[in-house]
Amino acid sequence: MDAALAPGSAFVSVYILGSTTMIDRQIIVPDGMRLLFEQAGYAPAVKVGKTLYCAGQVGRTPELSVIEDPEQQFLAAWENLRFVLEAGGCEFEDVVELTTYHVDMHRHMPIFRRVKDEVFPRGTCAWTCIGIGELARPGLLVEIKCVAVER
C-alpha cells in the first residue's frame, strides 16, 4: 500500500492508509520515532476514529539505545508513550486501557510503580501488568502499551 505523508505540525508526521476503506486508519509516527518506524517496520500508533492504539513503548533513546538504569529506563518509556499519545491527539488522561510487560517484575516493580505514580494519573484506566522472560532487546525491563480515546 502506498503511504502518503499528510501535512501537519512539525511534531508529528501522520501517514494515511487506505482512504477508500470503510474505516480510515491513520498511522502515527512522531518525528522523534521515524528511525524506529523505518528500522523496525511498525507504527508507534494507529488511530481509528477517536481511538488511538499505541504499540508498546520502551526505555530507549531516539537513537534506539537501551537505557541501563531502571528508573531512567522507566521514565523514558513513559515519555516515549507520552510522545506517541500527543502525536495522536491524546494525553495520559485519555488512556482507557494500559498493559505493561515486565522483565524481572518483582525486583523492579517498586521503582516502576513510583515512576508511574509520578507521571501517570492513578486509577483512571484498566491496567494489566504481566511478568515476562524477555523483551525485544537485551536490557529492556518494561514495555508499556495502551489504548486511548480522544475526548
With b for 16 or more beta-carbon neighbours within 10 A and e for fewer, the 109-127 pattern comes to bebbeebbeeebeeeebee
pLDDT value of residue 16: 43
What confidence tier does 41 reach under pLDDT thresholds 50, 70, 90?
confident
C-alpha cell at 13: 508526521
Does the structure show a pLDDT above 60 at 138?
Answer: yes
pTM across the whole model = 0.84
d(C-alpha 64, C-alpha 43), whole Å? 15
Alpha carbons 130 and 90: distance in angstroms, whole number: 24
pLDDT band of 22, cuts 50, 70, 90: low
Please say if the pLDDT value at position 118 is more than 80.
Answer: yes
Higher pLDDT, 1 or 27: 27
Contact, 4 vs 27, CB < 8 A? Answer: no
Per-residue pLDDT averaged across 119-125, rounded? 96
Mean pLDDT score, 33-50: 91
Residue 131 has pLDDT above 50, yes or no: yes
What 55-59 contacts at long range (C-beta under 8 Å, 24+ apart), as own/partner pairs, is 55/84, 55/145, 56/99, 56/101, 56/143, 56/144, 56/145, 57/81, 57/84, 57/143, 57/144, 57/145, 58/135, 58/136, 58/137, 58/140, 58/142, 58/143, 58/144, 59/140, 59/141, 59/142
Mean pLDDT of the chain: 88
The confidence score (pLDDT) of residue 46 equals: 97
How far apart are alpha carbons 98 and 108 in whole angstroms?
A: 18
Phi, then psi, of 35 in degrees rounded to 5: -60, -45
Residues 57-98: tens digit of each pLDDT: 999 998 889 999 999 999 999 999 999 999 999 999 999 999
Higher-confidence residue of 32 and 20: namely: 32
Find the largest Cα–Cα distance for the chain.
Answer: 49
